[in-house]
Amino acid sequence: MIMRSIEDTSIVFVGAGNLAANLAHAFYRKGFRVAQIYSRTEESARTLAQVVEAEYTTNLEDVASDAQLYIVSLKDDALAELLPQVVAGREKGVWVHTSGSIPMDIWKGHVERYGVFYPLQTFSRNRLVDFREIPVFVEGSSDAEVQFLRQIASALSGKAQVADSEQRRNIHLAAVFTCNFANHMYALGERLLQKNGLPFDILLPLIDETARKVHGLSPRSAQTGPAVRYDTGVIEKHLDMLADEPEMQRLYRLLSDDIHRMVQNPDIP
């Protein structure tokens, strides 16, 4: 089959979770042909398929065998478990996963053409993101696959780039600290406010300005608060206030000590 443009690529999604839903929407809006959605859960597969005008299935044996690109967006353990069954009879397509932590070579010995398609963003099913500013990291089993996947990524994002498995693992680790752990801090802040009858949205301007600052300052330079000054009076008061929350108290102390350690030791990278 000769494609007139990269958007003629036929795509099958194996998985219909948060990332897959956002990615399928993005491809659909760009004019790609999303041929099929597979999910173990019929509601997830059907709902996403209806939006992107695709077929759907909950049976791996019924996954289309003639797609040009298969995007597997499953939990890491599920991918390892299902991989031989997923690719059987479909070895001619290009296979990619979307994981930050799984090496590309998981495909080796199963298919000839493969790679990774890793968008660096936090995804929620009911909140669609704009891919134009999202870094998308690709890796391929050969130069041809790298070029193909980079073309696909560039159709969605102005920040498509190549990263090998080791680089991607470190990007993912940094993202967990920057996104997942930071969001957990929001959840803890929300809990403290709720205990005192206060709404979380009073923190939104603070959250927004904290994020804006690091567009122009390094995170270390942007750091403020009692731990920077090591204001022991304020720190001890806060620890006393957390007496009925021992885990949060322990976390407060640990983070305060680490912030101060970095301030006192500018040579720490």
What CATH number corresponds to the domain at position 254?
1.10.1040.20
Q: What's the CATH code of the domain at 113? A: 3.40.50.720
DSSP string, 227-253: HHHT-HHHHHHHHHHTTT-HHHHHHHH
Residue 269 lies in a domain: no
Q: pLDDT digits over 153-174, tens only?
A: 999 999 999 999 999 999 999 9
Tokens 């089993």: give the residue: 141
Domain encompassing residue 195: 169-264
Tell me 3's DSSP state: -
Estimate the crossing angle of helix 232-241 against helix 246-264, to 10 degrees.
160
Q: pLDDT digits over 62-113, tens only?
A: 999 999 999 999 988 889 888 999 999 998 899 999 999 999 999 999 999 9
Enter the pTM of the model: 0.90
Are both 20 and 99 inside the same structural domain?
Answer: yes
